[in-house]
Structures are given as structure tokens and as C-alpha cells.
Chain A
Amino acid sequence: MNKKNGFLPALITIVVSYVLLMLFMGVDNLIISGAIIVFLVGGGFFIYRKKSLLDCIVAGFRDYKGSLLITAVVLSVLLPLFFLKNHYIIHIFTLALIYVIASVGLNIQVGSANMTNFSQGAFFGIGAYTSALMTVKLGLSFWIAFPSAVLVAGIFGFLMGLPTLKTREFHLSLVTIAFAYVAYLLILNMRWTGGADGIAGVPKPTIFGLSIFKTVRLGGLRIPWTTFYYYFTLLFVGIGIYFAWKLHNSWIALGWNAIREDEISSKCYGLDLNKIKLSAFFIGSLYAGAAGSLYVHFVGFISTESMAFSVGLLMVCMVILGGMDNILGVILGTVLLIVIPEKFRAFQDFRLLFYGIILILMLIFRPQGLIPKKVRRYSLSTGGDHGK
């Protein structure tokens, strides 16, 4: 009886936020957009203060994962259809999806294992450059370039993981900062990567030799090519989140959480710290590589600007804003940080200042993020053998 209460509030929360987000992007009036933001923040705060309602919604999300997931998928699939006239908005949402992949990967290191990695932007760039070089210079297809980009980024992640085995906290952050700068400077100054000019003319992917990413006219309806790329990316996001979720509920993530809580005692319990840390860097970088490859085939151009130190910093912001070690939160944080500033393009210059202020306010007032991580629940029937 009590269980039924949760579904409707949770559904309403999702639908209302979705409609507001669509309105926010759709209207061409900064005042209305601002009002929507104020309403969203106020509504969120209201729900947060009203404990019974909040518990109800949380219970709904917990008990009706399946049906709410289907709702979310349907809503994301419908999303581009609202903006067929304005393909720029679809462009932004596609970018947001690409960044979701990267920040879900970063969440493994920053959120699950508490290793503050500032070099996710560098791995993003490594993936993008690998994909761009393979398609432009070698003429290979996307379907060879994409897995190679993922793997190359993963290998570099593994290599960067090696010096972190002996280091923790600040020293570990310094390793990632140093790596980010070394990768940036080397790519900027090597000739075969195009130097400061970057690589242009990266082709769009083809599927079975067909180029499907073209603007299509159906009767009076014009469907921009970005719509198809949006669905293409959505597919990859789905696969990425599926694996991230599987990992989150596995032994591996339990190891990451163990070193987050206490590295020395996990060692005393016989955990292999090297394996745990290296796997976090390897897997997280795979995600960054995938995001980089999807990015470069979408935008068609890559330069070192897309992998600067600030990109990695921005990704850390996304994870913190959304909620460390919570995949749903990280997705929310990423979409908010990509989509909202786009609307206020008039204040483009203030974007980084805005990110900095958001980061500080979140750390002081809500360090657990918009959606805090859940305590793991194990029951005898599903996960009883975790104690073996």
C-alpha cells in the first residue's frame, strides 16, 4: 500500500523538469528563461525542505526504476522532435550527451574512488585526435577509428595510472595536472597532429557504407542531420550508462569505494590497490576516449582548445554538481552545465566565472551534489555472497 505512493510524484518530477527544460531552451526570451531557472531552483528547494514529499519521490525512484527508466528514454527520444526548426538546440543537446559519456567515466575516479583527476579533458582530446588522425590521414572508417580511440585513451589512462600507484590526494592530483599539460603541449607542438591549426574535415560516420547523417526532407518537414547524430550518440550513452551501472554494482566498484573510504585499511584487508587504481583510470579513460571520438565526428574539427586544462576542470565541476558516485546525478549535472550556459550566450565571457562560483557554492552548501550517492543495499537473495 505504502509502496504505490512513490510512482506518481517521481513521474511528475521527471516530466515537469523535462517540460521546463524544453521551455527553457525553446523560448527566445532571456527573462522567461531566467524565470524558469528561478522556478526550477525554487521548486527543488521546496521539495528538499518538505521531507515527506522528498521521501516519497526518492521512494518512487527506488521502487519503480524500470518504468521511470522507460519514461526517461521515451522523453530523450522525443526531445529533438520539439526543435526540428532550430537545429542549434539539438546540437547543444548532442554535445551534452557526449560530455555525459566523459563525465560518467570521470565519476569512476573522482566519485567512486576519490582520486581527483583533472586530466579527463586530455583523454577526451587523445580519443578525439586518434579518431581524427585515423579517419583523415589514414582514411579509415569510423568503425575502426572509434574502438581504436577508445583503446588508445584507455592505454594512456593506464599509463598515467602507473605513477599514481605510489601517490595519493594532492600528489595524485599533481600527477594528473602534469599529465594534462604534457599531453596538451605535445599535441600542440607536434607537426603530425596539425599543431595549433588542429585537424579539420573529419568525416561523419557511415553505417554499412551509407551516410545517414544528412538533412532529410519528408514532405514539408525538414529533419536536420543533427537529429540523427543525436540518436546515434544517445545509443552510445545508453551503452555507456548500462556498463557504468553494471560496474557500479560489481565487485570492482566495491573496491573503488573501499579505497575511497580508507586506503590503508583496504590494503590491510588484502585488497590489491594497484589493480583497483589502475582499473579506475583505465575504465574512466575508455569513456573519455569514446566521448572524444564521438565529439570529433560530430563537430568535424579538433584542436588543442578542446582538451585544454579547463576542459578537465569543467568535467570535475559536472561530477561535483551532480553528485559524486551517483550516475544519475552526474548525468543531471553535465546536462545542466552544458545546456544552461548555452542559453545565456550573451554572457559567454562570464561562463568560467559562473562555473567557479557554482563549484564553490556547491562545495560549501551541498558537497554531496544535487543527487547524493546512495548507501549500497545488499539483500540475501541478490547479493548475499558479497561478504565471502
Chain B
Amino acid sequence: MRLSQEDIVLITLMLQLKNTLMLGLQYSLISIGFTLFFGMLNVVVFCHGGFYILATFIGTALVSLVLGLSGVSPVLSGMLVFLMLFLAMSLTGLTGVLVERTTIKPFRSSPPVMPILSTMAVGIILEQLLKLFYPEGANPQVFPQFFSNRGLSFGEFTISNSELVILLVAVVSLTLMFLFIKKTKIGSQVVAISQDFEAASMMGINVDRAVSITFFIGAALAAVAGFMNGIYYTVFRYDMGTIAGIKGFSGAVVGGLGSVFGAVIGGFLMAFVETFAAGYIPGGSAIRDVFSFLVVLLFLIFRPSGIIGQKSIEKV
């Protein structure tokens, strides 16, 4: 079958949109963590990208373990992979709680530079631990393939099975997170703390517990993104966390720090700029990050409060 010029343009566009969707889900999941932490404690957790890449490594190790089992039916191994995803989420979530307890809590009443630097340092430490102590950690790693390449086809345009799984997992975790915040008691405690930290603690809310739970959730969402990263790109390296974290933070800022919905929009905007700059600007592939950072700079100059955020009036 010969494709006309218009078909090629259309298919390219569809592919770019699909890439935007996949990348956007990842960035949104990371951005939500930034926004949750910031809303609660007024800190930016710069090691969030570290959680993301940590989850990719944990996921690789666990999934390889499952696929290494002999005599397991494909269906069972598929279910085991999902179990491993939950395990990776929990482990990363616990890391998040640990990091909050050790390196963010001590700085609750110090100037905001302190948590910036301490979480930055945790990011370096996480990354270096992966590089030095994971087997062959300094080299690019390969995420084990466990889905066939087939999938839904619409003519020349296909969505593979692994992409469908990614979509499903991401959408389910996003929905669960929204439900958690809107419907549960702890969710409303989180909202209360975001509105006024001191007042919330005076109302008898166990602030430390709510903060820990938020960090667990935030880091677990980053873990979902990290898992997706592994499935979608298959090859990854220990230092991918930094840039992904900065993209996620940019997404949160562009969307409006403190707003969960804004973080989703911001994450997708970052993914859109990156994908389309790489796809449609000549020579843009190598410098696609330049375009996304230029967008961030433009937002910081003209609308520092982000898309959703409200303009805050400061008083002395």
C-alpha cells in the first residue's frame, strides 16, 4: 500500500500525539508529587527525580526476577508483573517517607534554602548509590520485555500492548489519587494542612502522619512514572532521574504549584513542547529540552503563579 503525502503527515501527527500522551502521563505523575509536597510543607523536593529512577531500577530487578521463574504460565507472570509494580511503588513510597523524616523534617523552621539543598543532596546520593551499588549500574540498563509488540492497529497507526498497559496503570493511579484526596478522611486532612499548617495541627490533625502518607503517595506516583519509563523506553540510565525531576518540577510550576489539576496540565504541556519541538523543528531533537526550558522561563517571567495558580498578595 502506498501512502500519500497527507497520510504520512497525519500518521506522524498521530505518533507525536501518542508520544505526548505517554510522556505527559509520566511528567504529570511526577509533577503531582511536587505539587502535593509543596502544598503541604512549602518545600520543593528536588530528589523527586531520584524516586522516579529508583523505581525504574527496582522495577527492572523485580520484573527480571519474575520473568526468570520457569514453568509459570504467561497469565500468571503477567499478574506477577503487576504485583511487582505494587512492590516497587511501596518500596519507593517508603523511601520517600524515610527521606522526609531524615532530611526535610529537620528544616521545617529554617530558611527555604536549606530543604532545597538537602533534597538536592539526597538526589545526588540516590543517583550515586544506584550507579555504584546496582550491578553494572554505571551502564545503560535494559528493562525486560514482557509484552508482545502486537496491539491495537488503526491502519498504519498502532498502539502496542505495553502502551495500553501504561495508559491503564497511569489513569487508574491518577484516579485513585484524586479519589483519595476528595473522598477519604486522610485526604481531607491533607487538604487542611495545605491550607494552613498550624491551624490544622491545632485542630488535632496528626500532621506528621499526614505528611508521611503524602510523601508515600507522592513517591509511589513517581514510582509509577518510573515503571512506565522502563516499559516505554526500555533503555535507561542512573542519571535520567535528575532531568525527569526537573521536568516534573517545571510542569508543577507551569501548572501552578500547589494545584494537583494544574500539575497534570503542566506535565502534559511540558511533554507537548518537548515532543513537538523534537518532531517538527529542524535539528530540534538534540535541543528539545532547550525549548521546554524556554517555555518555563517565559512562564516564570509573565505568569509566575502558573496556569491554575492564583496570584498571591504578600503582606508584611
Contact = CB atoms under 8 A, between A and B. Distances in A.
Interface of A: 110, 114, 116, 162-163, 166-167, 169-171, 173-175, 177-179, 181-182, 185-186, 188-189, 264-265, 268, 309-310, 313, 316, 320, 349-350, 352-353, 355-357, 359-360, 363-364, 367
Nearest to B283: A189
Nearest to B316: A264
B290 A182 contact: yes
A13 to B, nearest CB: 28
Contact of A350 (B132, B243, B296, B315): B132
B120 interface: yes
Contact of B300 (A110, A171, A182, A310): A171
A359 B118 contact: yes
Secondary structure of the B contact surface, majority rule: helix
Contacts of B286: 185, 188-189
B117 A353 contact: no
19 contacts: A162-B301, A166-B301, A167-B304, A171-B253, A173-B116, A174-B250, A181-B243, A181-B289, A182-B289, A185-B287, A189-B286, A313-B120, A350-B128, A352-B124, A356-B123, A359-B121, A363-B118, A363-B121, A364-B106
B287 A189 contact: yes
B261 interface: no
A116 B125 contact: no
Given A175-B297, A189-B283, A264-B316, 18 more contacts: A163-B297, A166-B304, A167-B304, A170-B44, A174-B246, A178-B293, A181-B293, A182-B290, A268-B316, A309-B242, A320-B117, A349-B131, A352-B127, A353-B128, A355-B121, A356-B122, A359-B121, A363-B107
Secondary structure of the A contact surface, majority rule: helix
Contacts of B106: 364
Interface string B232-243: 000000000011
A179 B290 CA distance: 9
Contacts of B300: 163, 166-167, 171, 174-175
B249 A116 contact: no
Contacts of B128: 350, 352-353, 356
User: Which size bracket describes the interface of B in this complex?
Assistant: 35 or more
Nearest to B129: A353
The 5 closest A-B pairs by CB, nearest first: A356-B124, A353-B128, A359-B121, A178-B293, A356-B125
B132 A174 contact: no
A194 B21 CA distance: 35
B301 A163 contact: yes
B316 A174 contact: no
B114 A367 contact: yes
Contacts of A363: 103, 107, 114, 117-118, 121
A170 B44 CA distance: 7
Contacts of A268: 316
B112 interface: yes
Contacts of A181: 243, 246, 289-290, 293
B294 interface: yes
A174 B250 CA distance: 8
Contact of A353 (B132, B287, B294, B304): B132
Nearest to A160: B297
A356 B99 CA distance: 14
Interface in B89-131: 103, 106-107, 110-114, 116-118, 120-125, 127-129, 131
Contacts of B114: 363, 367
A182 B121 CA distance: 22
A316 B113 CA distance: 11
A178 B297 contact: yes
B258 to A, nearest CB: 11
A166 B117 CA distance: 22
B110 A170 contact: no
Given A175-B297, A353-B132, A170 B116 contact: yes
A169 B243 CA distance: 20
Nearest to B295: A178
A188 B283 CA distance: 13
Interface string B293-314: 1101100110010000000001
Contacts of B294: 182
Nearest to A114: B113
Contacts of A166: 300-301, 304
A185 B283 CA distance: 13
Interface string B129-141: 1011000001000
Contacts of B117: 116, 316, 320, 359, 363
A357 B287 contact: no
Contacts of B110: 367
Given A360-B103, A363-B118, A364-B118, A178 B250 contact: yes
Interface in B45-86: none
Contacts of A171: 253, 300, 304
